[in-house]
Amino acid sequence: MTVTGEKGKWFEKINAGTWALMGIFALLCLLLISGRKETDDMGTDIEKRMERVIEKMEGVKDCDVMIIDEGNEITGVLIVCEGAEDISVRIRVQNAAKTLLNIENCKISVVPMGGMSK
């Protein structure tokens, strides 16, 4: 009696064409995964750069930026920053994001950073 027995025979029946298709499928999966990582890194880089610029604006102390995109299109931006309680700061931050990302105001939300409640 062999270890593989009947269960191992399916492995022998797979032809070269099937192996090639499985290899191509695996390669495509790897390319998709690695391509998404580059997009994520790019998004993170833009977010960090925006945070640094916005934090230099008058009235802004600390800032976090989150950019949501679908494919190559930005669908939303959330900016949370200290100082956004002031409407003039909020408008300036929104205008800066609009200019930096070349998107409409309706896709940008600027909210004040909340402190810890006691």
Alpha helices by DSSP H, listed for 16-70, are 16-55
Q: Is the pTM of this model over 0.85?
A: no
* Token pair of 103 as six digits: 């998107």
Using one digit for the tens of pLDDT, what is the confidence trace for 13-53? 667 777 677 777 777 767 776 655 444 555 689 999 999 99
Task: Locate the domains of the chain by residue range.
Answer: 5-112
5-112 adopts what CATH topology?
GMP Synthetase; Chain A, domain 3 (3.30.300)
Nearest to 50 by CA among 111, 106, 94, 112: 94
What is the percentage of the chain residues whose pLDDT exceeds 70?
Answer: 70
The predicted pLDDT at position 48 comes to 94
Nearest to 54 by CA among 111, 114, 96, 12: 96
